[in-house]
Structure 1
């Protein structure tokens, strides 16, 4: 036996269990390039054999190759090792060095604790340790602390170098599409592809006009344009249909404003609901960015324009998106409310919300300040929107009167500029497709014709590029054909002479509500609305861009002196029904009777509830009280008391065997639970009574005749409610007499 097999710490108990060889390297790059370290770790299995373990008792755990031991990621191999140690299946844990097992004290000391409790040895290149022994435990703890400190020092050194280089703007990281790295230290250049540059510039030009990232994306989709995407950090440019995330990313990135930025996000380690560590990326505010170098390189827009774009995008966020955006106007939308996002409450300063009423979707502006602050269901302000919208529109058009001619010419020039941008992008698409055709042709002609395996592939690539070129030319021809006619100098002069009417354009069918809202936002910052209910007036304070104020007063409509009222007969009927039935049931009864509201509408639960509140009619109790003698109760309540199914009781009612009443036609039946009725219901059939079917068979008469006899009082009938014998039972008087010998008398057997 060798010296290692005679090691004093290794006992027969250890040799009877597993020897686990644990392998780990921190990253996939180390696994790929540092092959010698991997080989040395696998060779530890030979050392375990030399220490006395047989081959079948040596287990190699290599599931954690390429994973960090810092504890930030889950390691299935280490979890398996810890579980086996805790269960007492392991006699020796063998690693190249302690840092391979764990780079954090939490995992390392947990393993030492379990190993000491289960008499498990830990070995590395320096020796064999028994965690149950004080000196070995102390040495293992020191090695673990040194391993964790080493990781901290290495990480701090690397992060410090990275931050130092980033502070100079020289750290090379992934660039967004539209930029490439130059040869000089930290040099960033615009992409050499003219079509890529034009696509990025078009995004910023469209946003300056439309003011919404989503509208820019929709414009790209409507025009059928493609957008460049980079395949990886250093990959080629790929043109694909535009995605909203790509357009939004271009507008949000400060790199397009010529700024060098480092540290826009931060990686955090948190515990999830199961107690497992997970990493998440947190986006930091601009004030928290470690490095921000404006004017670092040539951008697509200047820094001031980028900041204005960010402010506009934050304003476009819906008011309920998060608490800090609760006072934002939001993007202009298609609803009929012209002041959506601009109107403020004159009482509490909150931004007014919009709701639409009726079939015509009449806008109404309201503020929920009191509802939020005091918990009461009352609006801080609520006012109809038609008159407010009309007054603000007239004031806006009057303010634009001196600039009408200039605005008209600018609109015509913008239309021409929009289509010219689309045409230019189309021409660049044709040029790029033609280059792809020429390149494919050169590659095809350079190949050996006898090499058909390669020639066929290149020939197919050439044909596909020719088809793409033809499609690009057809699309460009269509765009040229749809190009709007440019204004001639004579037409421009004529426009200036005629003096166009902006009010006509404002009211034109082609001008959407969203366009009108966008026009308002170009000049109006916000509108403060104050309502005086006593004087029936609304005061509007318009704050224009630049700080100027305009004060408007608007008379509100008076309340009708003679409101339309529901007829007294219907109100009296609802008063009687409300004692026993819900609003839904009352609405059904009124509808079946053909009754209408005061305005000719069909009754529903909401209208019944409103009628009750106006007439101060209390509703039926939600929890019905227990039925007592002579109470008129519903079919279901009576069925519960009598112990039968509601359908059975309803059938007896229709047959006339029991009596019931209705408050009004089409109302639910109600039954009086008196002592006589309850006395006719039994759990078991009384003596002297036979089932109704037996009586029918004996007498040879139909069921309807029996029912009529019971209703006339000629037969004594009871109802059995339980067991297999439940049903109608008839009292037997004499089994030899015919029940119908004497009309109106029960003289025979049943």
Structure 2
């Protein structure tokens, strides 16, 4: 547009043509707001939309253009303009003549010209795309390379000559190889304070490298890019329109890529590993699909999360957590029919017993290789720490170099008479880089101290001690649930569950070997809380001779506990007695003819206090039934109370004698 100006001059000359046809110069309007914009579509073409509006409202008498392609290269837009011009009796002029769209022949000729103009654009695009595709098939098409790759002087693709960029990119792929998750990669790199490079593609500072923290989308972009595997790929995306007719980029399946040349140049990983990574990422992305839900290990305590299949319908069972005893307990349930068909649960079971059975089975299988696993873990930790420390050191060296370079530029500017404004900006940049260097130095020292605790001698001894006992490694509180699930996933493909009178568990190991076992079904909560029959039998037996408090003490001495593992108390014994409708000790004593203190007092003609006092003195035989001092007394028969002389002053005590003997003594 800036160099080839002759066509633009010809278009502006159409204003003189309109004047020559009889239109006053003040009524001739030039629309040039679409200069440099393709006529392939009307979107974002304000000039064309203004032209259509003026024609539709009947404000235009004639539309002038060098050729149809100057107005529209899209048949839909062009025919809409012709139809509106026909309704408003607007003429159309090009280099070949003047046309009246209201006449059929003129409208037919204009339609053919519009179709030819659209076909011309298609031919031009095909010619350009054909050349690009032909060059891409040879692997010679130069395309923007991702960070970590660069073009050599001879046009070959090589690894970035910056060693720090290479090490950082390698660290990302090594971390994904260990974790198998893009989110885990981001968490580890952020936790290690590792910055990731990014190259500016356009605008100010084009080609410069910026270092910042990595995010999830950036990690996925790198993991999905085949250039890191040394492959040349073309046609990974295609342009389409969304619901608002805006052009958007859509990813294309690998089988539909136009060009794919493996091992075209040097890369950071092999093509086989790249394909494995794509399979892992696709598996992770299917977290909410009907058949592959939740395969990625998460932080919940459910050991079989994502690997449990329903033995009835074949769907993957989901996990639900409920609080119990201050912890979240897992429940495995198949609610595929609930979610997809508004039906009922297929089956469900508490997961603790199943997880324990699978853990025991896994320990029996993995125990021989425990030492090798622990040594591999130690070696992995050491390599990870050394690699992260080397990257942080490289970042620190780069920051020092940039700060020193800024300081030298500032001093050079002062010596050469730099203006005050530029000098102040240079000094500000120098101070900012110096402060950033100090911050990086402090952060590097702090992280180095933290890493040192991972590799010190006590840590090594702990790892070696755990190596000799794999069950202790598995059950150690420091082993996270995610790590247990990841270890399980290395050995077990999936587990099929059938809940009946007992739980049938069918394990499919990696490699195809299967194994089945049965697990006792957890008892319902009412049965769990139910008191043991032998405890109820003992309480029923001891009520003949003991009170509720005494029975609780005897149960505790024998080691009996309730369903929560708590010791028995008087209130708990009373609750059991009432629940199982056991006769109380009071009722049992009354059935044996025992009397209350009031009844004995009436029989002897004394007060109730005297009766209780006689019971404490041993004159009467009391039987405790309450939990304090409540008691019943044996029947007295035909006896009378004889009071001793001065008994209230510590003299001879009172006693019971037969009534006949008392009358003879009186005679």
TM-score by length of 1: 0.65
Q: What displacement does 1:161 show? A: 0.8
Q: Distance in 1 between matches of 2:160 and 2:342?
A: 59
Q: Which residue of 1 aligns with 2:101?
A: 131
Q: Secondary structure at the match of 1:246?
A: helix
Q: What displacement does 1:358 show? A: 4.0
Greater mean alpha carbon deviation, residues 542-551 or residues 438-447: 438-447
Q: Secondary structure at the match of 1:61?
A: coil
**Which of 178, 185, 189 lines up with 1:216 in the alignment?**
185
Task: Tell me if 1:256 matches 2:228.
Answer: yes
Contact persistence 2:90–2:101 (CA under 8 A): yes
Task: Tell me if 1:42 matches 2:12.
Answer: yes
Q: Secondary structure at the match of 2:283?
A: helix
Q: Which residue of 2 aligns with 1:10?
A: none
Q: Distance in 1 between matches of 2:437 and 2:339?
A: 61
Task: Tell me if 1:150 matches 2:120.
Answer: yes
Q: How many residue pairs align between the two structures? A: 524
Q: Which residue of 2 aligns with 1:547?
A: 512
Q: Distance in 1 between matches of 2:43 and 2:302?
A: 52
Q: 1:109 to 1:72 in 2, by over 3 A?
A: closer
Ranges in structure 1 where 5+ consecutive residues have no aligned partner: 1-30, 566-598, 600-750
Q: Which residue of 2 aligns with 1:287?
A: 255
Contact persistence 1:370–1:376 (CA under 8 A): yes
Q: Distance in 2 between matches of 1:379 and 1:547?
A: 30
Ranges in structure 2 where 5+ consecutive residues have no aligned partner: 531-563, 565-667
Q: Distance in 2 between matches of 1:39 and 1:201?
A: 57
Higher percent of residues as helix: 2
Q: Distance in 2 between matches of 1:546 and 1:33?
A: 68
Q: 1:329 to 1:384 in 2, by over 3 A?
A: same
Q: Which residue of 1 aligns with 2:307?
A: 342
**Which of 176, 185, 207 lines up with 2:176 in the alignment?**
207
5 Å matches for 1:279-428? 279-320=247-288, 322=289, 326-359=291-324, 360-371=327-338, 375=341, 377-428=343-394
Query: Bigger radius of gyration, 1 or 2?
Result: 2
Cα offsets for 1:160-192 (capped at 9, x unmatched): 11111111111112221111123335x211111
Q: Distance in 2 between matches of 1:468 and 1:369?
A: 54
Cα offsets for 1:141-177 (capped at 9, x unmatched): 2321221111011011011111111111111122211
Task: Tell me if 1:429 matches 2:395.
Answer: yes
Q: Distance in 2 between matches of 1:129 and 1:494?
A: 93
Q: Distance in 2 between matches of 1:277 and 1:497?
A: 65
Q: What displacement does 1:376 show? A: 6.2
Q: Secondary structure at the match of 1:88?
A: coil
Q: What displacement does 1:502 show? A: 2.3
Q: What displacement does 1:314 show? A: 1.9
Greater mean alpha carbon deviation, residues 348-357 or residues 151-160: 348-357
Task: Tell me if 1:449 matches 2:416.
Answer: yes
Contact persistence 1:91–1:120 (CA under 8 A): yes
Task: Tell me if 1:85 matches 2:50.
Answer: no
Q: Secondary structure at the match of 1:510?
A: coil
Q: Which residue of 1 aligns with 2:76?
A: 106
Q: 1:528 to 1:377 in 2, by over 3 A?
A: same
Q: Which residue of 2 aligns with 1:476?
A: 444
5 Å matches for 1:655-694? none
Contact persistence 1:409–1:492 (CA under 8 A): no
Cα offsets for 1:344-400 (capped at 9, x unmatched): 112222111111234443211111345468x46322221110100111112112211
Q: 1:494 to 1:102 in 2, by over 3 A?
A: closer
Q: 1:315 to 1:509 in 2, by over 3 A?
A: same
Q: What displacement does 1:489 show? A: 10
Cα offsets for 1:502-522 (capped at 9, x unmatched): 222222222221221122112
Q: What displacement does 1:134 show? A: 4.5
Q: What displacement does 1:112 show? A: 1.7
Contact persistence 1:72–1:269 (CA under 8 A): no
Q: Which residue of 2 aligns with 1:51?
A: 21
Q: Distance in 2 between matches of 1:145 and 1:110?
A: 13
Q: 1:544 to 1:34 in 2, by over 3 A?
A: farther
Q: Distance in 1 between matches of 2:345 and 2:150?
A: 56
Contact persistence 2:374–2:467 (CA under 8 A): no
Q: Distance in 1 between matches of 2:526 and 2:161?
A: 75
Q: Which residue of 2 aligns with 1:18?
A: none
